[in-house]
Structure 1
């Protein structure tokens, strides 16, 4: 890819250094779980930088939604690969995780030594309110452009209801949409095509990575090499762990357990947290009952994927069974190993699968499947946005099961006026005054800190 000419209206190709700065900024600002992180990338990469078109962004997101592991980190890796090849993918995926990992290790250390982390909630109070506004804005923007006809609106609605009301497992929702789109397009090729009104009302803005971009063809030997290299990177820490501590050590157990989790974490962190907590407490004795909730609270107030909570578990495991090391050193090693085997597999999935996904974009049935998944993903993001919004604006949330339905509603008496006011103010700044994300986060963060100081 070279420089784009001025006739297309697309921006010039960013240098690698410029891309690094943007990926680092995304990593530092990626609060709010997957909904907030996807919204942040959409705003910065599609709306502001125009490095990738709306349709290509959604195509990448659809593939990442089908993979185990943190979909937002995988999306960053995919887009980084589109921009600068494998080095761009590594840089984007690593910088998306590293800021949150450093913060999470520091908080895990503070938790292990002092067990006092309540101050952190006040520090990030204002940031969460801004993230809520960013998420809502992203749902509106993505929905307006992704839902091309009435059928896709219906798919999004069914996906939202399946998740929010009936608690259908996330992979079932996404795969069902894909199967419907695949076979529906085979029977009626125009089933998921955009309506004329939609095509006229919501065209893609000129972008660096548009519809004419094509992935280079990879030979079978190159595919095999990619798989072997990243599988070796995944297992690389064993070269030090096994000779120094043995196969029966806590560190080998951390690598083995969280490597298994990396393969089965479909639908994000919440899909496996209960199982991880049970195994960490009962089978391994790494955590005391209730400590998983403390780790989750820390992960929710730090940048990066929510699955960083597994770093907290690994830290406590290494801290309490340091295998002859100083407990702090054991904790840092345990947390690092948990993060390594959790996030490195994402690079394997992207570098193996993304080239095939790019070449299959012209396959009509597959495009139909991904279009249906696009619609379902809008419902998924809406579900995450409402869940996140309820927990930001209200201090207490109620749930009740009625047959197959799980009804969730806020305790209106627990409404937090300050959180609501900050969220509305952030929305006005973002949408009404067109402020950038960084100034809005800075202003709401300062407001949250001021509220804490004022009591």
Structure 2
């Protein structure tokens, strides 16, 4: 039985309003989420478990059913679920002000920790000891991504249609580098067709209700051979449908692009990054902030708005844009930035602060962090009354079912290139160490469920010891 959001708000707000002043509630929220941000190691699931302990077990702010309902809502939204859950709890207990306080307090301490670790990394990355530590940390992070992909795949890839989507996205991401948001939208629409409209009596008559142009984008991504092979259509029908959609798309593309050029600010269309790899900014980043303010803001707003499934799902989009397209980070820096996100408490999405620090120092880190978390605040604080209705919408559920296997394929493609860089070291001994650490991490994660916050420091210690032994 689904509890409506209005009932939850009325019951909780009524009880707390008459027993505890608002200022006391807000101060308590601030203390709790500052503590969670400072000591919340172990990733999103560990942090959510700590929130449950604080809000349900220790303080009786929410019932178990209310907490589970809120978590289901946050999992439905794009962006980091742990951050959204914190904002959601703050919203129920203190309204809009409570949501702001809970969200900021959950992010700020971990943000400063990531900025400090980023400064240490870029300031001393040539130091032999630091290189040795990241020799062990990098394979751990790569294996964490692979293990996450495996676990997510077991949940999301459950039928032949989901397998087809995952395989298509894997090859499109690995060999053709098709934009991930376009792929996710296309696969979501495919899921909408397969899981919802296909089961309706007159689903072709309902097709215009979910944007014919978006369907056209999807048909640009899926070859007709795949459609015919998986028996979605006969070969002749697949060819005819594909041809019709391609012609229709070409007819509409020019006026649509002209309108987009009017809407999008010109500064977002200018390539501000050089062909060579971007160098490290100064600490404050005043010399770059003017050139990179719009690109940083726009990119991380997209990253926080378009990626479903939590912080780890954002990795393929980050790698494709930051490493391959913009040349803001090297692949090694990208892997090490994710490692710093795992080393610090709070959400792993704070890797955005690492990226922003390299591009435009402290100011860039601040802009990237604000942009990547802004959608989470907006979704909870503005759209909260609609979320429960949205969660029970069959069309939305079908769309998410199409996106989930696409995420698996994108993460798998990113894992291949990351693993290649991780194992390609300057010496055979270092490559062997990286391979052993990577394999041991996979076993520890999948077999023994070892927390990531334990594995990352252990990898660094093994890398340091291995380097010392090799030098002898």
TM range, normalised to the smaller chain? 0.5 to 0.7
- Measured on the aligned residues, the alpha-carbon RMSD in Å equals 4.3
C-alpha distance 137-361 of structure 1, shift in aligned 2 (>3 A): same
Is 2:441 aligned against 1:426? yes
Q: Given that residues 77 and 90 in structure 1 are in contact (C-alpha distance below 8 angstroms), is that contact kept between their aligned partners in structure 2?
A: no
Residues 115-164 of structure 1: CA deviation (Å, up to 9, x unaligned): 83554221122222323333232222222122343322222222222212
- Whether the 8 Å contact between 1:147 and 1:153 is mirrored in structure 2 is yes
Q: Which residue of 1 aligns with 2:463?
A: 448
Query: Following the alignment from structure 2 to structure 1, what is the Cα–Cα distance between the partners of residues 67 and 144?
Result: 19
Aligned residues: 319
Within 2, Cα distance between the matches of 1:414 and 1:53?
49
Give TM-score, length-normalised by structure 1: 0.57
Instruction: Report whether the alignment pairs 1:271 with 2:301.
Output: no
1:337 is matched with 363
Say if 1:127 and 1:22 are closer, same or farther in 2 by CA, change over 3 A.
Answer: farther
* Matched-pair contact (CA < 8 Å) for 2:117–2:340: yes
Does residue 380 of structure 2 align to residue 377 of structure 1? no
| Alignment deviations for residues 383-412 of structure 1 (CA, whole Å, 9 cap, x no partner) | 23333222222338xxxxxxxxxxxxxxx9
1:41 aligns with 2:44: yes
8 A Cα contact 1:123 1:445, kept in partner: yes
The aligned counterpart of 2:451 is: 436
Give, in whole Å, the separation in 2 of the partners of 1:361 and 1:148.
21
Where 2:141 maps in the other structure, the secondary structure is helix
| Aligned residue among 134, 146, 150 for 1:136 | 146
Q: Which of residues 184, 190, 193 is equivalent to 1:180?
A: 190
Aligned to 1:387: 417
Q: Greater CA radius of gyration, 1 or 2? A: 2
1:311 is matched with which residue?
Answer: 357
Match of 2:116 among 102, 105, 116: 102
Partner of 2:395: 365
CA separation in 2, counterparts of 1:420 and 1:364? Answer: 44
Give 3-state SS (helix, strand or coil) of 1:441's partner: helix
Assess if the C-alpha contact under 8 Å between 1:42 and 1:138 holds in 2: no
Aligned residue number for residue 237 of structure 1: none
Change in CA separation of 1:58 and 1:368 when aligned onto 2, cut-off 3 Å = same
5+ residue gaps, structure 2, are 1-7, 13-27, 54-63, 92-98, 202-285, 307-316, 342-349
TM (normalized to structure 2)? 0.55
Query: Is the contact between residue 87 and residue 102 of structure 2 (CA under 8 Å) also seen in structure 1?
Result: yes
1:167 aligns with 2:182: no
Q: Quick one: structure 1 residues 380 and 25, their matched pair in 2 at CA, closer, same or farther if it must change by over 3 Å?
A: farther
CA distance in 1, matches of 2:83, 2:183: 24
